[in-house]
Structure 1
Amino acid sequence: MKQPIVIIGIGEIGAIFARGFLRLGHPIYPITRDMDMQTESQSIPDPAVVIVAVGEADLHPTLAQLPAVWKSCLALIQNELLPSDWQRHGLNDPSVVSVWFEKKRGQDVKIVVPSPLYGANAALLAASLNTLDIPHYLVHDHDQLLFELVRKNYYILVSNIAGLRVGGTVGALWAQHPELVQAIAHDVHALQQHLTGKTLDHAELLQAMLVAFAGDPEHQCMGRSAPARLQRALQIADAAGLAVPTLRDIAASRS
């Protein structure tokens, strides 16, 4: 029997990877909220990979409780993810997937653009996606990984926050409100530079975000998490002393 796969957080995305690994012949061990990870790790001490696919709000509590025996085979699959998120938990180089496909209950997988995979378990994760014909590619260094993570953050934050003002789809957003997109992206860039401690290429990131807009132009801008994303962005900006005027204007218009 092949090594088991542990998946912490069996939502729609976690279930996609589970389906792929089952097709490869790996037993799947889901970890849900009411299960104790330390106890479970005693029964599964040597998994092939431990996938963390919880929501953004649950990431840090999950990593804080992660059993030591699972840390060396970790793969992270979250939105709004940056290296500082895993480094604060003493995790040096986990595998990472920046997911660019969407799965909603009762619907098939929708592809936006190919998903980048990084790390020691990238080939194994790619094999899972191969069974489902989900496009992906491997990234091989930290700089490229950082670019991919920030690109996804641009996409999520710009589209969600713009959606709070104008609604609609990402295709219509760029076609009808390019000035708003660029203003929000400017604020998001300041946030990302602060969070990464790096000088980032705004023009390249903006263009990469627009490629993703074109990949699924009918994607709705404003998801359920949009208000929380704006609030979280402003909390970061306040703590860092960043102006982010467009984000503040959108928040003020909603109060």
Structure 2
Amino acid sequence: MKDPVVIIGIGEIGAVFARGFLRTGHPVYPVTRDMDMQTQCSHIPEPAVVIAAVGETDLHPTLANLPDAWKPRVALIQNELLPADWQRHGLANPTVISVWFEKKKGQDVKIVVPSPVYGEHAELLTGSLNALDIPAYLVHDQEQLLFELVRKNYYILTSNIAGLKVGGNVSGLWANHEPLVRAVASDIHTLQEHLTGQKLDHEELLQAMLTAFEGDPQHQCMGRSAPARLQRALQIADGAGLEVPALREIAASRQ
């Protein structure tokens, strides 16, 4: 029997990974909110990998309480993820996937573009997804990983925040509101450079975001999390003294 896989949080995305690992022969052990991780770690101290499949807002409490034995085995799948998020918890080099597929209740998996995976356990994750015909590929260095994480942040934040103003889908957003997209993306770029401490190639990231727009042109811009994403972005900007004029204009228009 293959080594077990632990999945912390069995929502829609966590369940996709569970199905993939089961298909590749790995026993799957879910850890839900009402289960103590330390107790579960005593039962399964050396899993093949530990998928932290909680939402963005639950990531830091989860990592703060992650058992030491699981830390070298953890894999992160959250949106709005950057290296500082795992470094603050003493995780030097976790496995990370930028998830580019969507799974909603009652619907099948929808692919946007292939999902890049980095880290020691990347092959396990790509194997589990490929078993479900979900395309994923290996990323081999941290610089490429950072680009892919920022690309996903461009996509989510730009489409969500611009969508608060004009609604619609990503195809119409770019076709009908290109100046707005460019203005919001420029502000997102400012935030991402601040959060990463790196100089980033804005035009390359913008084009990579547009490739993702083309992967699922009917994807709706404004999900339930859009207002909270705008609020978090402005909190970061305020704390760092950043201008982000397009984001502030959209926020003001909603008051």
> Helix, strand or coil for the counterpart of 1:39?
helix
Indicate whether 1:166 and 2:166 are aligned. Answer: yes
Shift of 1:22: 0.5
> Helix, strand or coil for the counterpart of 2:51?
strand
Provide structure 2 residue ranges, at least 5 long, that are not aligned to the other structure. none
Calculate percent identity across the aligned residue pairs: 76
Matches within 5 A, 1:131-142: 131-142=131-142
Q: CA RMSD in A?
A: 0.5
Shift of 1:87: 0.2
Q: d(CA) in 2 for partners of 1:193 and 1:34?
A: 37
Q: d(CA) in 2 for partners of 1:60 and 1:171?
A: 34
1:18 partner amino acid: A
Shift of 1:217: 0.3
> Helix, strand or coil for the counterpart of 1:29?
strand
> Helix, strand or coil for the counterpart of 2:57?
helix
| Residues 48-77 of structure 1: CA deviation (Å, up to 9, x unaligned) | 000001111000000000000000111000
Matches within 5 A, 1:1-255: 1-255=1-255
Shift of 1:130: 1.3
1:244 partner amino acid: V
How many residues of Structure 1 are paired with residues of Structure 2 in the alignment?
255
> Helix, strand or coil for the counterpart of 1:231?
helix
Q: d(CA) in 2 for partners of 1:17 and 1:246?
A: 37
Q: d(CA) in 2 for partners of 1:183 and 1:175?
A: 15
Moved over 4 A (4+): none
1:36 partner amino acid: D
2:114 partner amino acid: P
Shift of 1:185: 0.3
> Which deviates more, 130-139 or 153-162?
130-139
1:30 partner amino acid: P
Shift of 1:14: 0.6
Provide structure 1 residue ranges, at least 5 long, that are not aligned to the other structure. none
2:78 partner amino acid: Q
Q: TM-score, normalising length from structure 1?
A: 0.99
